[in-house]
Structure 1
Amino acid sequence: MLNTVRDWMNDLVVFVDPNSTITEALGIMRRRYVNNLITKKTKESPEYGIVTSIDICDKIVAQGRDPSTVKVHEIMSSPLITVTTQMTIVECAKVMKDHRIHHLPVADANGTVVGMISANDFLIVAEQLGHGNSERTLH
């Protein structure tokens, strides 16, 4: 039965230095075909953070800011809200809903980010369930 975050998560996690500019972050996003980046832990930023395409739209483009002068750490969300690989898809969806977020880093028992799950992944979950695949149930 495929109902845990581990079953549906994407193990591609792309990292960015929190001192990178938004222009640099956008280049990474474009080259890696992702719409979110996890910030690396540094001395200055000892916790993971996340920056998403929505953050860039809302905090850079909509405000007329220059992406070449703004650093990732200035607009990233931190500390991360994460889920674990053992959580059910239903629990994960509730975390997204409760926090009004669309991208959730998946952390292992040590707090290391090992994957990502996004609202778009739930479209695939819903599609699979809609095909009447009895092996794929949420509970």
Structure 2
Amino acid sequence: MEFTVRDWMMDLVVYVDPDMPVTDALETMRRRYINSVIINKTRDNPEYGILTSTDICDKIVAQERDPATLKVRDIMTSPLIVVRTDMSMAECARIMKENKIHHLPVCDETQCLVGMISATDFLVVAEAMGRTG
């Protein structure tokens, strides 16, 4: 049985503004119990971006930077790497591995963002693979 991204993605996409203080984005992530947010396009920010818990660890904590002095655009990752809803989970896992990332936005056939998939979702996928094996 082939598992697709559609079967395992979270269909919640939370957007934040690139000029939002990082502390506000952190509060949004904490309150919603999520590990990533999508950075919206604006006139000054023509491409979507992503801010993840890994970005927080690598670009703030490890570098001992003050998040109160930073805007989201200062530490976001852009441009996005995205996957499609009909992609296999195996291919999705390969994309994460090749790009050394843990969160992927999911697009539908019209290129609209419709969800997120993260490395932790693969725990459940692997468990399901063992059951159908």
1:1-139 matched pairs, under 5 angstroms: 3-130=3-130, 132-133=131-132
CA 1:110 to 1:44, structure 2 compared with 1: closer, same or farther past 3 Å?
farther
Unpaired segments ≥5 residues, structure 2? none
**Alpha-carbon RMSD:** 1.2
Counterpart-to-counterpart distance in 1, 2:68 and 2:4: 39
> Are the equivalent residues in 1 in contact too, given 2:21–2:70 (CA < 8 A)?
yes
> Are the equivalent residues in 1 in contact too, given 2:2–2:88 (CA < 8 A)?
no
Counterpart-to-counterpart distance in 2, 1:68 and 1:107: 32
Counterpart-to-counterpart distance in 2, 1:114 and 1:125: 20
Counterpart-to-counterpart distance in 1, 2:125 and 2:105: 18
Letter in 2 for 1:6: R
Deviation at 1:10, TM superposition (A): 0.6
Counterpart-to-counterpart distance in 1, 2:64 and 2:7: 40
Provide the TM-score with structure 1 as the length reference.
0.91
Identity of matched residues, %: 62
Deviation at 1:111, TM superposition (A): 2.4
Deviation at 1:58, TM superposition (A): 1.0
Deviation at 1:49, TM superposition (A): 0.3
> Are the equivalent residues in 1 in contact too, given 2:9–2:117 (CA < 8 A)?
yes
Deviation at 1:2, TM superposition (A): 5.7
Unpaired segments ≥5 residues, structure 1? 135-139
Letter in 2 for 1:37: V
